[in-house]
């Protein structure tokens, strides 16, 4: 009887733990615990994974680490501009890995990351007025911006001669502006350009788009200029930062791209959850049909197992990928294995005429070596997969290992105590139940 | 209690396995395995047509102007299509999309893997395979270290290795058939599935041999056939129970899961079926015949 009492205490503890774990997994129900979302991989939430190779041939061996750090900084700044949550920029040897979740347009992102913001000054073409008139007419006739001719032509002055860019506020309008400071060579070019264009407008283009076209009042020396556009403060800050970041410290090339659209990510997630759910139901049905009451106990243990594993995924913040979910679903089937082993052995003992509590004890004792050894082989393989594998392999191995470890716990703690709690009850006498 | 005379029909099992084994080798030789882009480099584009999906030949023709290397077009699901091409730069990728624009496509997934990355993936995968195989071999040595007469531990080791080969080769042969008819590829997920089968299948074999050892030490050795039959009948429930509970979720992954996990689960399904088959119908009968032939009993 003491044994039964002990197992009642154990069961109560397990159920209380399960209750909190379930709340943690699905917090919308009671809101007892802080809400922690599952961390989904790019393949499930949609996103882009880019690998860049840095060309370090022109960099001294000793300075390569520093060059990579500098590269990472610049890329990080650019990536942050996309406003995706928690972008990841990582250095891996001479490679740079960029991960962005849920980027709507990866093509645009790739363009932005790889580019140098190109600032240039353009002057009016000879027939400036003519073109402006013509453009006006085209627009009136219903033409689009594409049909217009650019009235400006490029000059020698561009962002390469830039020394510094900063955000300042206009003293007149108090709107944010960008102040530019050229280096010596740039200052000279700027002086020449303004001298040549007094009374005309000088356009400032960024990446081929005109930002502003102030009219030059007089020759400007000293190498300082302002860009007044219709900037919000944020835009002005981003622009100044991009201009300062300038060119990448080393050339990079994109060597691998993996983009999963948000639609596919969502579909994949739904599909795999559905597969997991139906798989789980079938396993439970099978267990109850074949093993009757112990099957029911095992199903309960399995449900507790699923809740514990899912809350563990949240606690240690496992990034769930398709491979990870596959590992988890596979571990559901394997988790039952321990129960099947215990019940099969228990049945044998009962058939040999032992009483219920002896059969539970013996069945467990005899099944344990097989449970341990069996899980050991899978854990061993999983450990190897995890330590040397690629990201797909790692995701799979991690969830599979977590699943196996928790399943051993659920066999020892959950199933065993549930079985023991039937000792001395009327149910233990009904043979067909077991 | 089920009492099936396993040994009586062993010729049939041997015959069946020989056919499957030989068939797999033939299928591997004839069809071969198509390595995925994660191992060879290249690109894969999955799209969905909002309007009607054009025939493969039309898609091929549309793209014929571009330099895509040797590329394949394969329908997927109801409205989807999967294109496999050489490694593409972002510009080339956009050109492909541009060519198909008129069919109102939605890009679901694009993956392009350059030679640097694929060779790194190959290297890592190779070391995973070597280490896992070594670990399994080590496990076999330890697991069968202590056995009583008439069984030799090296006999158990050899039979286990043979059954592993059997359980790996048949799924591979099936994958080759699927590769030929449905474009299934030999990818890293498939390799992971095969390694998982290794761990799983050796497990089943150990359970069978453990039972035989246990019973052999208890009973009169004069009737080794009875010992083997009893052991198989005793483990039958466990072997079937475990493999079925693992198979159910996998079957759902195969039918409901997406493209990435399809052949991963297929290989696992066949590997697990082979694993339970060989642990019930192959390893013990082979052990029996081996011992009988040597006239130890």
Which residue, chain included where needed, has tokens 């030679």? B115
Contacts of B121 in chain A (CB under 8 A): 390
Find, among A353, A390, A345, the residue nearest to A369 by Cα.
A345
Whether residues A271 and B135 touch (CB distance < 8 A) is answered with: no
Q: By the CB < 8 Å criterion, does B250 face chain A?
A: yes
Residue pLDDT tens, chain B, 297 long: 578 899 999 999 999 999 999 999 999 999 999 999 989 999 999 999 888 888 888 888 888 888 888 888 888 878 889 999 999 988 899 999 998 888 888 888 999 999 988 998 899 889 988 998 888 888 888 878 776 666 788 888 899 999 999 999 999 999 999 999 988 999 999 999 999 898 888 888 988 998 888 888 776 666 888 899 999 998 898 889 889 999 999 999 999 887 778 999 999 999 999 999 999 999 999 999 998 876 655
Whether residues A323 and B189 touch (CB distance < 8 A) is answered with: yes
Whether residues A271 and B256 touch (CB distance < 8 A) is answered with: yes
Whether residues A333 and B207 touch (CB distance < 8 A) is answered with: no
Bridge partners, A88 (sequence order): A99
Fold classified for B42-112: Alpha-Beta Plaits (3.30.70)
Long-range contacts (CB closer than 8 Å, 24 or more residues apart) made by B273-277: B273/B243, B273/B247, B274/B166, B274/B167, B274/B170, B274/B171, B274/B197, B274/B201, B275/B167, B275/B197, B275/B200, B275/B201, B275/B204, B275/B243, B276/B204, B276/B239, B276/B240, B276/B242, B276/B243, B277/B17
CA–CA gap between residue B209 and residue B282 (Å, rounded): 12
> Domains of chain A: which residue ranges?
2-33+262-433, 47-115+251-259, 119-245
- What are phi and psi for residue A90, nearest 5 degrees? -130, 145
What is the CATH code of the structural domain delimited by A47-115+251-259?
Answer: 3.30.70.3400
Interface confidence (ipTM) of the complex: 0.86
Instruction: Identify the CATH homologous superfamily for domain B7-36+117-293.
Output: Multidrug efflux transporter AcrB transmembrane domain (1.20.1640.10)
- The arrangement of secondary structure in A119-245, i.e. its CATH architecture, is 2-Layer Sandwich (3.30)
CA–CA gap between residue A227 and residue A190 (Å, rounded): 14
A366: number of Cβ within 10 Å: 17
Residue A304 tokens read as 């507790």
Whether residues A380 and B139 touch (CB distance < 8 A) is answered with: yes
Q: Which strands form A176-182's sheet, in the order they lie side by side?
A: A162-169, A176-182, A224-227
CA–CA gap between residue A221 and residue B50 (Å, rounded): 59
Contacts of B206 in chain A (CB under 8 A): 370, 373-374, 377
Contacts of A110 in chain B (CB under 8 A): 90
Residue A217 tokens read as 């009042």
pLDDT tens readout for residues A327-375 = 998 888 888 888 888 888 888 888 888 888 888 888 888 888 878 887 8
CA–CA gap between residue B196 and residue A330 (Å, rounded): 10
Whether residues B249 and A330 touch (CB distance < 8 A) is answered with: yes
- The arrangement of secondary structure in A2-33+262-433, i.e. its CATH architecture, is Up-down Bundle (1.20)
CA–CA gap between residue A183 and residue A177 (Å, rounded): 20
> Domains of chain B: which residue ranges?
7-36+117-293, 42-112
The CA distance from A330 to the nearest CA of chain B, in Å, is 6
CA–CA gap between residue A275 and residue A251 (Å, rounded): 45
User: For B249, which of A275, A322, A377 is closest by C-beta distance?
Assistant: A275
CA A395-A396-A397 angle, 5° bins: 95
């Amino acid at each position: 009887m003491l044994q039964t009492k002990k197992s009642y205490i154990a069961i109560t503890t397990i159920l209380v733990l399960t209750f909190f774990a379930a709340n943690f997994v699905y917090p919308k129900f009671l809101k007892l615990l802080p809400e922690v979302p599952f961390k989904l991989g790019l393949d499930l939430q949609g996103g882009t994974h880019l690998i860049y190779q840095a060309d370090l041939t022109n960099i001294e061996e000793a300075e390569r680490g520093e060059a990579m750090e500098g590269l990472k900084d610049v890329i990080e700044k650019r990536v942050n501009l996309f406003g995706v949550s928690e972008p990841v920029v990582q250095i891996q040897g001479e490679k740079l890995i960029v991960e962005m979740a849920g980027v709507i347009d990866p093509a645009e992102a790739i363009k932005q990351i790889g580019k140098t913001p190109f600032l240039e000054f353009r002057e009016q073409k000879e027939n400036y007025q003519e073109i402006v008139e013509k453009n006006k007419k085209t627009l009136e006739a219903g033409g689009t911006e594409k049909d217009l001719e650019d009235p400006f032509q490029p000059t020698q002055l561009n962002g390469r001669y830039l020394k510094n860019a900063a955000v300042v506020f206009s003293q007149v309008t108090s709107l944010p502006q960008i102040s530019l400071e050229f280096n010596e060579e740039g200052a000279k070019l700027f002086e020449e350009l303004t001298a040549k264009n007094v009374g005309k407008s000088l356009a400032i283009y960024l990446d081929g788009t005109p930002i502003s076209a102030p009219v030059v009042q007089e020759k400007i020396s000293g190498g300082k200029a302002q860009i007044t556009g219709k900037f919000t403060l944020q835009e002005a800050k981003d622009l100044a930062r991009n201009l300062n970041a300038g060119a990448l410290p080393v050339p990079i090339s994109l060597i691998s791209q993996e983009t999963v659209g948000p639609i596919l990510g969502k579909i994949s997630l739904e599909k795999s959850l559905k597969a997991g759910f139906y798989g789980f139901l079938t396993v439970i049905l099978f267990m109850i049909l074949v093993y009757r009451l112990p099957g029911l106990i095992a199903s309960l243990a399995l449900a507790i197992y699923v809740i514990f594993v899912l809350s563990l995924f949240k606690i240690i913040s496992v990034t769930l990928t398709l491979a990870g979910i596959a590992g988890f679903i596979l571990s559901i089937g394997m988790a039952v294995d321990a129960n099947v082993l215990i019940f099969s052995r228990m049945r044998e003992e009962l058939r040999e005429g032992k009483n219920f509590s002896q059969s539970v004890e013996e069945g467990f004792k005899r099944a344990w070596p097989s449970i341990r050894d069996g899980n050991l082989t899978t854990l061993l393989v999983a450990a190897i997969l995890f330590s040397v594998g690629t990201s797909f392999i790692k995701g799979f191995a991690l969830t599979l290992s977590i699943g196996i470890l928790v399943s051993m716990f659920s066999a020892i703690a959950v199933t065993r105590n549930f079985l023991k709690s039937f000792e001395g009850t009327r149910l233990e006498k009904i043979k067909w139940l077991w | 209690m089920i009492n099936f005379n396993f040994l009586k029909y062993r010729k049939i099992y041997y015959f069946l396995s020989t056919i499957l084994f030989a068939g797999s080798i033939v299928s591997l030789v004839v069809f071969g395995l198509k390595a995925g882009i994660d191992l060879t480099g290249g690109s894969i584009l999955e799209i969905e047509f909002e309007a009607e999906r054009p025939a493969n030949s039309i898609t091929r023709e549309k793209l014929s102007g571009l330099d895509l290397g040797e590329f394949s077009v394969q329908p997927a699901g109801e409205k989807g299509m999967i294109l496999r091409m050489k490694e593409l730069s972002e510009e080339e990728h956009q050109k492909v999309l541009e060519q198909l624009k008129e069919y109102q496509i939605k890009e679901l997934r694009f993956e392009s893997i350059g030679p640097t990355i694929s060779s790194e993936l190959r290297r890592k995968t190779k070391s995973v395979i070597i280490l896992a195989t070594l670990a399994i071999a080590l496990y076999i040595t330890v697991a069968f270290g202590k056995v009583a007469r008439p069984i030799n531990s090296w006999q158990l080791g050899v039979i286990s290795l043979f059954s592993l080969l059997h359980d790996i080769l048949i799924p591979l042969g099936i994958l080759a058939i699927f590769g030929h008819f449905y474009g299934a590829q030999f990818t890293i997920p498939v390799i992971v599935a095969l390694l998982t089968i290794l761990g799983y299948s050796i497990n089943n074999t150990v359970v069978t041999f453990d039972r035989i050892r246990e019973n052999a030490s208890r009973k009169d050795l004069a009737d080794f056939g009875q010992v083997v039959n009893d052991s198989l009948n005793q483990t039958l429930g466990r072997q079937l129970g475990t493999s079925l509970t693992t198979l159910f979720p996998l079957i759902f992954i195969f039918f409901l899961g997406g493209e990435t996990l399809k052949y991963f689960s297929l290989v696992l399904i066949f590997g697990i079926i082979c694993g339970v088959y060989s642990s019930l119908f192959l390893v013990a009968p082979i052990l029996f015949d081996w011992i009988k032939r040597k006239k130890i009993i």
